[in-house]
Amino acid sequence: MQYPEPIAKLIDSYMHLPGIGRKTATRLAFYTVDMNKTDVKNFADALTSTKNDLRFCSICGNITETDPCEICSDPTRDQSKIMVVEQSKDVMTMEKMKDYNGLYHVLHGVLSPIEGKGPEDINISSLIKRLQKNEEVKEVIIATNATPEGEATAMYLAKLIKPAGIKVTRLSHGLSVGSDIEYADEMTLSKAVSGRTEM
């Protein structure tokens, strides 16, 4: 038996989301059918708003409603530091920490030869232009993920930026707070040892 066309289309739409297979998409579709009309309208409006009302900041590439974004427009931010992150959600994560008061640059991905993503496919050229225009920047903090692609991107950026005399640092990776050494893998332990700090 075929699902009615509106449900079939909804299932197909949910399956376009990352990590959503047919079973989960079907469950979500039927959950949506059971929602009241107001909640469905609010949900649809929220989806539409994300496409109509959001844009990328022309300076840092972060997702924003205004251009430039709030962070780039804030004169109280430390203009001498730029933290380079993979995605806009990483900016939100760092901001929750409330320990960093510098600027950001969002790459919108990482270098990945397997996926055919080279330097021209992510937001690198605008970072280099930004550094050339702004002599205030003294440090670039590379905060890409500790994946092979994230590490390759960090190395590539460091090679591009260091000749300009700008300090390039990398977030240290290693043991998370509260974890046991015996359960850590070799790469995590290696990063923890190499990223150790003086007490």
Q: What is the DSSP string of 35-100?
A: S-HHHHHHHHHHHHHHHHS-EE-TTT--EESSSS-HHHH-TTSEEEEEEEESSHHHHHHHHHH---
**Phi, psi for 112 (deg, rounded to 5):** -150, 95
- Would you say residue 199 has pLDDT above 50? no
Give the chain's radius of gyration (CA, Å): 21
Average pLDDT over residues 157-178: 87
DSSP 8-state secondary structure symbol assigned to residue 3? P
Higher per-residue confidence, 32 vs 192: 32
51-82 tens-digit pLDDT: 999 999 999 999 999 999 999 999 999 999 99
78-95 tens-digit pLDDT: 999 999 999 999 999 999
pLDDT band at 186 (very low <50, low <70, confident <90, very high): confident
By percentage, how much of the chain surpasses pLDDT 90?
Answer: 78
Domains of the chain as residue ranges with CATH? 5-52 (1.10.8.420), 78-193 (3.40.1360.10)
- Would you say residue 198 has pLDDT above 70? no
